[in-house]
């Protein structure tokens, strides 16, 4: 749950050079590996991502490039640069972007916001010494996030297909003219390649957290990045007033048959492996979870560690069962007045049985 997701990177001459030099060499390898995984063509085409095959190739290529080239550079940069300097550098580039923010404010007809962002730019450029110090934010002039791709969206230009550009990363077709215009409106583009390279480095450094988050959270990093990128861009274009597609997601839930089929019958739940289920008895099951967890991860249960034979274990289990039955009967008495007592009981029994069965399953192997 992070606030930032990678934005479309701006074209810079530095990147273009690398692009030409490296893209096609490594790109070839990546294509083969994706084809080996196989069968992309066989699946339905996502309307937002008709070029998924190409995009995945590029995604893998960018990912490798990042791991082997950009990430080490950024790590080095972060390591040698004191935090305060890093913030200063970041502020300077953010401030230069301020010009294009003002232009886009005006192009979108947001004149108040345009005046605010102009004030912000002037304050930070002067009192903030060329943008090193972000005085404006402290004065209550928060940075607005506007760019030409958003302006195009406001003008009604359709988003177009999702694209993963070599080196530059996630974009949509609408984002390409967007990036070109923003690059032209950014002073960084005219200050020579060392500045552009520094800007690119800073940008990558600022995305470090997001990339790390994707790495941790995503089961399919390609899809995760695509969805997060598209959603976040739409959110920015709409200035946070996004229509909830949640109802669309919930449409399937309106099928009452499905509800009855699986969940209304509490007695069928939790039979297989002490799974969590619909009922409030979830708590009781959850408390045994860490143990299940460990067993699933292949750790040896205590019984086996102690080097006991299966006979000893099963005898022990029998004793435990007797004790358990006693406990169960007293529980039954105590909870008679509750209407759900029986369901609870069933579930607990099942969980208990499962606990007992687990070691023998492992013994069988």
Partner 1 sequence: MFLKYKYFFRAVFLLISASAVLAEDGEQEMSAREVVANFQAQLLETMKNGKTLGFEGRYKKLTEPVIKSHDLTKIARIVVGREWKKLTDEQKQKLVDVFSRLSIASYAHNFKDFSDEKFEIVSEEETPRGGVIVHTLLKIPGEKDVKLDYQMKKKGNEWRIINIIANGVSDLALKRSEYTSILKREGFDALLEKISGKIKQYSTNKE
Provide the 3-class DSSP secondary structure of residue 49: strand
Contact 178, 8 (CB under 8 A): yes
355 lies in the site for partner 1, by CB under 8 A:
yes
- Please answer whether residues 345 and 328 qualify as being in contact, where contact means their C-beta atoms are separated by less than 8 angstroms: yes
Q: Does the footprint of partner 1 cover residue 51 (CB under 8 A)? A: no
SS3 category, 5: coil
Indicate the burial class of 353 (C-beta count within 10 angstroms; 0-12, 13-18, 19 or more): middle
Work out whether 249 is an interface residue with partner 1 (CB under 8 A). yes
Please choose, out of 58-66, 178-186, 190-198, 240-248, the segment that lies near partner 1 by the rule CB under 8 A.
240-248
25 vs 297 by CB, closer to partner 1: 297
Number of other residues whose CB lies within 10 A of the CB of residue 287: 10
Judged by beta carbon, residue 161 or residue 187, the one nearer partner 1 is 161
d(C-alpha 119, C-alpha 288), whole Å: 58
Structure tokens at 286: 């959850």
Task: Find the binder of partner 1 among 269, 350, 354, 358 (CB under 8 A).
Answer: 269
Residues in 90-109 at the binding interface with partner 1, rule: CB under 8 A: none
Q: Which of 198, 236, 190, 192 is nearest to 8 (CA)?
A: 236
Stretch that binds partner 1, among 98-106, 186-194, 195-203, 251-259 (CB under 8 A): 251-259
Task: Give the shortest CB-332-to-partner 1 separation in angstroms.
Answer: 10
> What is the rounded distance in angstroms from the CA atom of residue 82 to the CA atom of residue 70?
19
Of residues 154 through 213, those in contact with partner 1 by CB under 8 A are none
Stretch that binds partner 1, among 23-31, 90-98, 155-163, 291-299 (CB under 8 A): 291-299
List of residues 6+ apart from 161 with CB closer than 8 A: 48, 49, 50, 51, 172, 173
Considering only 97, 232, 350, 354, the residue that binds partner 1 (CB under 8 A) is: 232
Beta-carbon contacts of residue 8 (< 8 Å; ≥ 6 apart): 149, 168, 169, 170, 171, 172, 175, 178, 179, 229, 233
The region of 7-15, 27-35, 163-171, 294-302 touching partner 1 under the rule CB under 8 A is 294-302
Q: Choose the stretch contacting partner 1; rule: CB under 8 A; options: 25-33, 100-108, 166-174, 299-307.
A: 299-307
Residues 9-48 that bind partner 1 (CB under 8 A): 39, 43-44
Does 235 sit near partner 1 (CB under 8 A)? yes
Check residue 252 for interaction with partner 1 (CB under 8 A): yes
By CB under 8 A, residue 83 contacts partner 1: no
């Amino acid at each position: 749950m992070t606030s930032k997701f990678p934005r479309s990177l701006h074209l810079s001459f530095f990147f273009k050079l690398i692009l030409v030099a490296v893209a096609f060499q490594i790109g070839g390898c990546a294509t083969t590996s994706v084809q080996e995984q196989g069968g992309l063509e066989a699946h339905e085409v996502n309307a937002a991502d008709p070029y998924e095959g190409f995009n995945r190739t590029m995604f893998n290529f960018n990912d490798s490039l990042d791991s082997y080239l950009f990430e080490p550079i950024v790590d080095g940069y972060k390591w040698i640069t004191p935090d305060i300097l890093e913030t200063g550098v970041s502020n300077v580039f953010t401030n230069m972007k301020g010009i294009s923010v003002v232009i886009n404010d005006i192009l979108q007809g947001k004149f108040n916001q345009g005046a605010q962002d102009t004030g912000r730019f002037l304050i930070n450029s002067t009192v903030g010494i060329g943008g090193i110090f972000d005085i404006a934010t402290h004065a209550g002039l928060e940075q607005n996030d506007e760019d030409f791709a958003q302006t195009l969206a406001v003008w009604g230009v359709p988003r177009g297909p999702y694209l993963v550009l070599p080196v530059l990363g996630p974009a949509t077709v609408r984002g390409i003219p967007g990036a070109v215009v923003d690059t032209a409106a950014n002073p960084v583009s005219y200050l020579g390649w060392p500045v552009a390279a520094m800007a690119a480095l800073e940008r990558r450094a600022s995305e470090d957290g997001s990339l790390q988050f994707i790495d941790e959270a995503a089961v399919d990093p390609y899809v995760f990045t695509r969805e997060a990128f598209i959603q976040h861009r739409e959110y920015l274009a709409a200035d946070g007033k996004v229509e909830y597609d949640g109802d669309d997601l919930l449409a399937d839930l309106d099928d009452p048959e499905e509800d009855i089929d699986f969940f209304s019958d509490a007695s069928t739940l939790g039979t297989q492996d002490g799974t969590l289920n619909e009922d409030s008895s979830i708590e009781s099951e959850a408390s045994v979870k860490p143990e299940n967890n460990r067993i699933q991860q292949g750790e040896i249960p205590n019984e086996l560690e102690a080097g006991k034979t299966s006979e000893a274990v099963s005898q022990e289990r029998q004793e435990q069962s007797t004790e358990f039955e006693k406990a169960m009967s007293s529980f039954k008495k105590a909870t008679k007045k509750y209407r759900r007592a029986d369901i609870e009981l069933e579930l607990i029994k099942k969980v208990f049985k499962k606990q007992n069965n687990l070691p023998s399953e492992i013994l069988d192997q």
